């Protein structure tokens, strides 16, 4: 089992994977990353960088999109998992929260939550205790427990999707674009709950997020993807202090601070000078 840089042995080790869709479209190109147990690791990058594909490769949900891992290895506690089904992975404690929330619209909030416990075999009492714990972290869901998901807000649906994953009693949650379509105040609330779950319940998170500022504020480590490749990785503090990250992901570079508007040609020229692509 590999070790995360400067830290403990990795719970999840993604080692040089390539992913191809429809037998011809190469999306991930030698992606490697390590997720230490008990950490929050952020996958950062723009739309189309390969963040969602990386999560789906780990959770083995690529087949539904006609994708497959063609090179490399994915290990969970040292065991290769590329051939396991998504259900097998849930039983091993790995659960994905899909982009766009995807609640069952016709079911109530509580019915949605209980679907997350389908693979558990420890009995109703244990599941009931987990449900109450979910309600402790998400009091809004308890207040709306009898409401059909279709009639709840986007923030409540995102909380429901995360709560449903927690009902499986996971070791690690793969969280895809949790801030998408949500108001800033709700995004902050969701990330604070993620941080609390990590600190108190020791749930490990690998999250894909375009909002680099909030992700780095709550994560322990980060990995930046561009065009299916890892271009930079490090602690959240290191990435937040990196001048290129400030310029391209945090809107804090010299141009952004001066309010100067650059042409598309200028942007392309600057991108060619980025240290991580040199």
pLDDT at 65: 87
The rounded distance, in Å, linking the Cα atoms of 221 and 219 is 6
Is domain 1-93+171-241 classified as CATH 3.40.50.300? yes
Q: What is the pLDDT of residues 70-93, one digit of tens each?
A: 999 999 999 999 999 999 999 999
Rounded to whole angstroms, the Cα distance separating 235 from 176 reads 20
With helix as H, strand as E and coil as C, how does the chain read? CCECCCCCEEEEEEEEEEEEECCCEEEEEEEEEEEECCCEEEEECCCCCCHHHHHHHHHCCCHHHCEEEEEEEEEECCEECCCCCHHHHHHCCEEEECCCCCCCCCCEHHHHHHHCCCCCCCCHHHHHHHHHHHHHHCHHHHHCCCCEHHHCCHHHHHHHHHHHHHCCCCCEEEEECCCCCCCHHHHHHHHHHHHHHHHHHCCEEEEEECCHHHHHHHCCEEEEEECCEEEEEEEHHHHHHCHHHHHHHHCCCHHHHHCCCCCHHHHHHHHHCCHHHC
pLDDT value at 171 more than 50: yes
Q: Identify the residue with better confidence: 6 or 35.
A: 35
* Residue 270 confidence (pLDDT): 43
Is the pLDDT assigned to residue 278 strictly greater than 50?
no
Q: Per-residue pLDDT for 47 more than 80? A: yes
What's the pLDDT tens digit per position in 236-268? 999 999 888 888 887 665 554 444 534 333 444
Structure confidence at residue 257 (pLDDT) = 47
**Alpha-carbon span 184 to 101, nearest angstrom:** 17
Q: For residue range 113-170, list pLDDT tens digits in order.
A: 999 999 889 999 999 999 999 999 999 999 999 999 999 999 999 999 999 999 999 9
pLDDT reported for residue 263: 35
- Which band of pLDDT confidence, cut at 50, 70 and 90, is reported for residue 182? confident
What's the rounded mean pLDDT across residues 219-231? Answer: 94
The structural domains of the chain, with segments of one domain joined by +, span 1-93+171-241, 100-169, 243-278
pTM summary value? 0.86
Burial class (CB in 10 A: 0-12, 13-18, 19+), 257: exposed
Is the pLDDT assigned to residue 3 strictly greater than 70? no
* % of the chain at pLDDT higher than 70: 87
* pLDDT at residue 110 greater than cutoff 60: yes
Give percent of the chain above pLDDT 90: 76
Query: Which pLDDT tens digit goes with each residue over 192-215?
Result: 999 999 999 999 999 999 899 999
């Amino acid at each position: 089992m590999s070790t995360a840089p400067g830290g403990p042995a990795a719970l999840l080790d993604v080692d040089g994977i390539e992913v191809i869709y429809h037998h011809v479209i190469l999306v991930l190109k030698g992606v490697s990353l390590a997720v230490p147990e008990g950490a929050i690791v952020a996958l950062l990058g723009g739309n189309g960088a390969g963040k969602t594909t990386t999560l789906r490769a780990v959770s083995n949900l690529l087949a539904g999109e006609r994708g497959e891992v063609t090179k490399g290895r994915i290990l969970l506690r040292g065991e290769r998992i590329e051939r396991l089904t998504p259900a097998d992975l849930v039983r091993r404690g790995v659960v994905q929260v899909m982009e766009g929330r995807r609640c069952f619209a016709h079911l109530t909030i509580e019915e949605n939550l209980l679907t997350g416990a389908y693979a558990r075999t420890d009995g109703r009492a244990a599941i009931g205790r987990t449900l109450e714990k979910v309600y402790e972290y998400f009091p809004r869901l308890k207040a709306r427990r009898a409401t059909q998901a279709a009639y709840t807000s986007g923030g409540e649906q995102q909380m429901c999707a995360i709560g449903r994953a927690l009902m499986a009693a996971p070791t690690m949650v793969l969280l895809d674009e949790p801030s998408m379509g949500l108001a800033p105040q709700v995004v902050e609330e969701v990330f604070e709950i993620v941080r609390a779950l990590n600190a108190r319940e020791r749930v490990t998170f690998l999250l894909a997020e375009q909002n680099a500022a909030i992700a780095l504020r709550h994560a322990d480590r980060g990995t930046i993807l561009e065009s299916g490749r890892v271009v930079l990785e490090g602690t959240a503090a290191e990435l937040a202090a990196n001048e290129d990250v400030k310029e391209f992901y945090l809107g804090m570079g010299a141009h952004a601070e001066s309010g100067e508007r650059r042409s598309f040609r200028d942007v392309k020229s600057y991108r060619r000078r980025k240290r991580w692509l040199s």
